[in-house]
Chain A
Amino acid sequence: MGPKRIENKRRKFFQTSAALIGGTLLYSLIKPFEALAQPKEEEDPKIDKADLPLWGMGVDIEKCIGCGKCAEACKIENNVPIEPFYFRTWVEQYTVKKNGEVKIESPNGGIGGLKQSVPDEDIFKSFLVPKLCNHCTKAPCVQACPVGATYISPDGVVLVDETYCIGCSYCIQACPYGARFMNPVTKVADKCTFCYHRITKGLQPACVEACPTDARIFGDLRDKETDLVTFLQENPTEVLKPHLNTHCRVFYNGLSSEVR
């Protein structure tokens, strides 16, 4: 029975392959005509970028008191799991000791208020640095994504397409600022979106809303009337890791060279 059985198997294989390929072919041939069957409303997909805002944020280290309200607000607003490893934004305390050592700490992302852990007499200087996604113009995470699930929106915000992300974590490794994480609930990459659902409705991001000292300034970089532009005019600002040429849109005032 040997040879015949093989032949049958082969025939089956050819039949199924032919059916599969034929099916896809047929579908792809029909697909262009779908538009004819139910004509879509003609929208102009070309957005003129100059008309859109270009969102950015200023962070004033000289004002931050490390109360952690921003990190807390962010978690509430964006349904980020409350476990202390998942943060879209967090606050770090840098303490430069008199012996030159730099201690960086961020217990629970600063939520609940940062407490001084080094005695006064050892401290050379100490300051607080709120961190978040820097929304790079040349984002390494976007370049790393193999499927185009993370991208820079026309108004300059780096976003994640949650339905399209395959959860490969490449972007998390590519981010030089550690601003991304794997969301344990949705199992896809998660990151700060500048609260895209808020800013497109004319609201401020949740962290800006919650800050008691206005250490975060959010606004449109193209509009020359905003508080953000005034902040940039009046203060010498710097971005994090400028040597990486990521061209960030989060600007820090009062940044020390110890900040990594």
Chain B
Amino acid sequence: MPKIIFRLLFSFVVFVGVFILIQRSLKPDSFGEYGHYRGNSLNDNKMRTPYFKGEAKCAECHEDVYDMKSMDLHDGVRCESCHYPKIDANTDCEVGPPIVKGTIKFCAQCHGINAARLDKGVPQLVLKEHYENQNCIECHNPHAPWDLKE
């Protein structure tokens, strides 16, 4: 074999070998365990803490509100749809639920009239015509909307 061909082949083999070795050493540990990705990443994605605790958790401290709500039409609306979840709420009953104001704007999120929402089982109101600019919770109890205050 001519010397030059030998050298060429030799350096080619060395190059490929070095490439494979470097590639192997730089690859993250769990890569390729289940597919073309880092297997440990599945765990990374699982590890976060859930914020939303679920209604059962709310009922542990606020059974009265829960019972009241389940008797009325807001039964299907879960606590955390209206009250933002609190991360420390699951340990301490002293921590009250996040405060929400039962303003017109708040109730309008679901009850404000919109052509796309009609006939979906959620009553829609032209809020200006419904007792004008009074705050909704002055009459309706937000947890039991038919429990009118007057």
User: Is chain B found bound to chain A in the same assembly?
Assistant: yes
Q: Which residues of A contact B (CB under 8 A)?
A: 21, 24-25, 27-29, 31, 45, 47, 62-69, 73, 76-77, 93-95, 112-116, 118, 120, 123, 126-128, 148-154, 159, 161-164, 193, 195-198, 200-201, 203, 206, 209-214
Instruction: Check if A76 sits within 8 Å of B51, measured CB to CB.
Output: yes
Q: Which residues of B contact A (CB under 8 A)?
A: 18, 21-22, 24-25, 28, 31, 33-39, 41-42, 44-52, 54, 76-78, 80-81, 84-85, 105, 108-110, 112-117, 120-122
In the assembled complex, 20 residue pairs joining A and B whose CB atoms fall closer than 8 Å, in A order, are A29-B21, A31-B25, A69-B81, A73-B52, A95-B115, A113-B109, A115-B114, A116-B114, A120-B115, A152-B35, A159-B42, A161-B38, A163-B38, A163-B41, A193-B45, A197-B48, A203-B50, A206-B51, A212-B77, A212-B81
Closest 6 CB pairs of A and B: A113-B109, A151-B37, A28-B25, A161-B41, A28-B21, A126-B116
Bound CA–CA A214/B81 (angstroms):
12
Known contacts A28-B22, A66-B114, A197-B49; A149/B109 CB under 8 A: no
For A94, the closest partner residue in chain B by CB is: B116
Total inter-chain residue pairs, C-beta < 8 Å: 148
For B115, the closest partner residue in chain A by CB is: A126
Residue of A112, A196, A213 touching B120 (CB-CB under 8 A): A213
Contacts of A116 on B, CB cut-off 8 Å? 113-116
Instruction: Check if A27 sits within 8 Å of B25, measured CB to CB.
Output: yes
Bound CA–CA A28/B21 (angstroms):
6
Instruction: Check if A77 sits within 8 Å of B51, measured CB to CB.
Output: yes
Bound CA–CA A228/B129 (angstroms):
40
Nearest chain A CB to B21's CB is how many angstroms away?
4
Known contacts A162-B44, A163-B44; A45/B50 CB under 8 A: no
Instruction: Check if B108 sits within 8 Å of A113, measured CB to CB.
Output: yes
